[in-house]
Amino acid sequence: MIKCIIVEDEVLAQNVIQAHLAKIDTFELVAICNNAMEAGNVLNTREVDLIFLDIQLPGMTGLNFLRALPDPPLVVLTTAYAEYALESYELNVIDYLLKPISFERFYKTVNKIMDGRLFEQVVKDEENLFNDHIFIKSGGKFFKVNFSEIIYIQSMKDYLKIHTSQYNLVTHQTMNDIEKALPSKQFMRVHKSYIIAIAHIKSIYGNSIEIDKATIPVGNNYKMNVMSLIGKKSQ
């Protein structure tokens, strides 16, 4: 399931998006927030893959809230004002929905997320896997992801969230499948829910690894792997 939140202060708009989401099995509504502060609290305590974010919010606008997030999930902006479109796309949002939001337009956005961000199968074979990238298949298309772009991979039950230097990808895969598809010299499993890119490690301390802007836990069953890495690097 793709976990999402609605950040919207108008009850009618909340109800419309919630009703649209209820028609699509792939999405799970985690919370409805009335302002940026409530949304920030949810992001700090819950697992969220997608935000439906209103631009006009009390206290802090949706755009300023988005700019303040160090590692935002996927974002779909919702607003009654078309003049914010250009500014919103500069923030790499998935889509820009004008109110009132019809289900047809909403479903088009959902398909964009599924086709461009939700990948069905990681393909590993001699034709599709090369020294510096992997091809990911979705809907008959092959998407190229460079190994150098991947920072870490996070498990979310039936899905994986691939954190890259430019964007985040959500893929319907298992950790074992993606681990087999990655070169072992460049990536390491450090937790049942995390695979990291060795090149992006900033520091290792205690049971944690600092990588990019995130702190990744080291699982008990993977401590020897990490200690072996430290030993190799210190020689």
| Farthest-apart Cα atoms in the chain, separation | 63
Q: What is the mean pLDDT of residues 136-161?
A: 76
For 125, 188, 189, 193, 231, the CA distances from 224, given in Å and listed in that order, are 30, 11, 11, 17, 10
Q: What is the mean pLDDT of the chain?
A: 82
The pLDDT of residue 10 is: 95
Q: Could you give the residue ranges of the DSSP H alpha helices within 70-116?
A: 85-89, 103-116
The pLDDT tens digits of the residues spanning 56-102 come to 999 999 999 999 998 888 899 998 877 666 666 567 788 889 999 99
Q: Sheet holding 214-217: strands in order across?
A: 201-205, 208-211, 214-217
Tokens of 67: 């700019």
Cβ proximity of 46 and 35 under 8 Å: no
The whole-model pTM stands at 0.52
Cα–Cα distance, 24 to 1 (Å, whole number): 10
DSSP 104-123: HHHHHHHHHHHHHTEE-EE-
CATH of domain 118-234: 2.40.50.1020
Domain ranges of the chain: 2-116, 118-234
Cα–Cα distance, 186 to 194 (Å, whole number): 14
In terms of Cα–Cα distance, which of 232, 233, 228, 1 is closest to 114?
1
Beta bridge partners, 159, equal 156
The pLDDT tens digits of the residues spanning 157-186 come to 778 888 888 877 777 778 888 888 888 889
- The highest-level CATH class for domain 2-116 is alpha beta
94-105: string of b/e by CB count within 10 Å (b at 16+)? bbbbebebeeee
Q: What is the mean pLDDT of residues 127-151?
A: 66
pLDDT at 119 > cutoff 70: no
C-alpha 79: how far from chain center: 22
pLDDT at 141 > cutoff 90: no
The pLDDT of residue 80 is: 85
The pLDDT tens digits of the residues spanning 36-52 come to 999 999 999 998 989 99
Q: What is the mean pLDDT of residues 115-137?
A: 49
The pLDDT tens digits of the residues spanning 192-203 come to 999 999 999 999
Phi, psi of 87 (to 5 degrees): -65, -35
For residue 63, give the 3-state DSSP assignment.
helix
